Each structure stands twice: as C-alpha cells, then as structure tokens.
A = this chain, B = another copy of it.
Amino acid sequence: MKKNKVAILGATGSVGQKFIELLSNHPWFEIDELAASDKSAGKKYSDAVNWVMQIPLDKKIAGMDVKKCEPVLNSKIVFSALDASVAGTIEEDFAKAGYIVISNARNHRFDDDVPLMVPEINSNHLEIIKIQKFEKGAIVTNPNCSTIGLVMALKPLDDEFGIESVNVVTMQAISGAGYPGVPSMDIIDNVIPFIGGEEDKMEIEPKKILGKITGGKINYATITISAQCNRVSVIDGHTECVQVKLKKKTSKEEIIKAWNNFSAEPQKLKLPSAPEKPIIYLEDEKYPQPRIHRNLGKGMSVSIGRLRECSLFDYKFVILSHNTIRGAAGGTILIAELMKSKGYLDKYL
C-alpha cells in the first residue's frame, strides 16, 4: 500500500518530536514535510531542533528542510503540534486553504463545528465536520492530555450506568509541560499544586466528548466535574484519583467487567495505533503506577486500579495514561487513522 504523505506543524517542539517518533515506520502515513516557526524555517531539521526523544533522530527526517507554517505545503493532511499562542490562526488558515488539520492544540476544541475526538469514545462526532465552516478543509481536535485518560475510564460507566458527577485530582508528569518546561529546581523533592488552565479544561472537555449529537450538533453531557491538577516528579504518565457518582447503582464487579470488556471502533477497525485493550484493570492494590504501566498497549492503553466504594460518591479509583502518547501525539495519530479508515481523508490524498 502506498503511504499517505503528511506534514507536521510545530515540528521542533516536544509534541512535534513525539509525532515524528511515533510516525517513523507508520504503516499508513509518511512524513513528507516539517513546518515550524520563522526562527526555525529555512534550516535543516537537525539544526533547528533540540531533539529530546529517546530514539535517535532518523537520518531522513534530520535532513529535511523546515518550512514555514503557511498553507502552501504539498501534503493536504497536517498534524498540528503548534503552541496555543499561534495555533488558532494558523490552523484556520490551513483549513480555509483546503487542508485537513488534526490538532493537538486547544484553540479550536470548543468551536461548535469542530469535533473534540477520542476515537474509542465519540467516533460519530466526526460527522459534524461535514457542516464545518471551511469550504474544503477542516479542523479536528484532540483533548488535553489529562482529559483523555479520564474520559476513557468514564465512557463504559456512562454507557452502562450513567454518570452524574466526577471528582478528579491529578498527579501529572513533567513532559506535559514540554521542553524546557518545568525547571528542575521546581520539581525535585517537590510537588507543584497548580497547572495553569488545566483544571478548566478537565472540567469542560469531558462534557463535549461524552456529548450526544442531536439536530446536527453536539449536546454536552450534563455531568458535574470538579478537577484539581498537580505536577509531580514523574517523566511520563499522568496518574489521576477519580470519584464518580452513577445514575444507576451497580456493583464493583459490574464496573470492572464494563472496563475489561470495553472495545470500540478503533479496535474493530484494527487501526494501527489502537491498543488491543483500550482499558486494562489491574488487581494489585498498589497499581497503576506511571513508571510501570505507562507503556502498556504501546502507551495507548489506559490502566485503572483500586476500584473501591466511596462514602461521598459511589466509587473511587485510580487511572494512569501516557500523556505524550495516548494524551497527545499518539491520540492525534489515532484520530487520523480513524478518519482514513472511515473515508474522511479520501479527498485529501
């Protein structure tokens, strides 16, 4: 099969680098162009980037010329790893010019006609791009890294028992802040109980993702969510303490069954980045742990553990997901795979 050529916007940042790492040897997509800020444009990629991934930089990628983030690229499929400070306008420009933009940036997540996608959860939301404001192009977005693990855990519960409210306290990895990101003086032997903007995102994003489409638009789920976000001394992997109040009372066994049986369209379609098991429930009471479980399902599975009754809600449990794979580049690539598989990319090839 001939691979589809794709471009990466914001290719020099840490999310951009993760896209490059995960797309190396991808069976469907092939990186054809790299674009970044004016500071980097015109340089060879290896000269423009401070490569911080663990696998060595591929030689072909290293030698590519970095282009400007302007809609004159050859590839019509672009992954956006742009910083939120510039992503808004650039992504719009590409969409207007007929590109399909699959973005990890927060800017367009709450546009009425832009889907906020987690392929296992709301693949049907893709249909709203048909009515998107741009004539030929389109924008599709990926949620915040701390939201994805949470909604994956909530989805089977919402389907089977209905969710009334959710309380979540996170312990997030430093890689979520990019590079250079968190100064070491701030996090060694320390916790930072604040991540700018993060709590707001976590309190609203799940409502759109778990929303239903009626009358051609997404109706947000009516769940009350309270979030508290902390940064801890972990390289990769967000751990979250979650409490839920359900609409229909159920047993611990039923909940674990719902998680273990959970499988969705990416699994049915056997998408290349889809984990065999999107959710893995771990019985050991001291699990999940970021260093041990973040790479399950090649970083695309969400681990859950410690399900127990709660005196204030119905149940409490702990979730763990890889923030730069499932929570960023990997999740975005899975969206692209879903779109390709369902024919949404046909006109951009």
CB within 8 Å of B: which residues of A? 14, 52, 54, 56, 165, 167, 169, 171, 174-175, 179-194, 203, 224-226, 228, 230, 232-235, 239, 241, 243, 285-292, 295-296, 305-306, 310-313, 316, 318
Contact partners of A287 in chain B: CB under 8 A? 193
Contact partners of A167 in chain B: CB under 8 A? 167, 243, 312
Q: Shortest distance in angstroms between A256's beta carbon and chain B's nearest beta carbon?
A: 17
Closest to A56 in B: B296
A286 to B310, CA, bound (A): 29
**In the complex the two chains form, is A174's CB within 8 Å of B188's CB?**
yes
Answer whether A311 and B188 are a contact pair too, CB < 8 Å, given A169-B169, A232-B171, A305-B193: no
Q: Shortest distance in angstroms between A320's beta carbon and chain B's nearest beta carbon?
A: 8
A142 to B285, CA, bound (A): 28
A181 to B181, CA, bound (A): 11
Q: Shortest distance in angstroms between A326's beta carbon and chain B's nearest beta carbon?
A: 16
A187 to B318, CA, bound (A): 17
A181 CB contact (under 8 Å) in B169, B184, B203, B234: B184
**In the complex the two chains form, is B188's CB within 8 Å of A184's CB?**
yes
**In the complex the two chains form, is B189's CB within 8 Å of A234's CB?**
yes
Answer whether A174 and B184 are a contact pair too, CB < 8 Å, given A54-B291, A233-B189: yes
Q: Shortest distance in angstroms between A154's beta carbon and chain B's nearest beta carbon?
A: 15
**In the complex the two chains form, is B169's CB within 8 Å of A228's CB?**
yes
A192 to B171, CA, bound (A): 11
Closest to A55 in B: B295
Contact partners of A318 in chain B: CB under 8 A? 193, 228
6 contacts between A and B (CB under 8 A): A165-B312, A186-B289, A193-B305, A194-B285, A226-B311, A233-B233
Q: Shortest distance in angstroms between A21's beta carbon and chain B's nearest beta carbon?
A: 13
**In the complex the two chains form, is B182's CB within 8 Å of A183's CB?**
yes
Closest to A310 in B: B226
Closest to A182 in B: B184
A52 CB contact (under 8 Å) in B165, B185, B203, B296: B185
What would 4 more interface pairs be, CB under 8 Å, given A188-B188, A191-B232, A233-B233?
A183-B183, A184-B233, A191-B234, A193-B286
Answer whether A193 and B239 are a contact pair too, CB < 8 Å, given A171-B232, A184-B186, A184-B188: yes
**In the complex the two chains form, is B185's CB within 8 Å of A316's CB?**
no
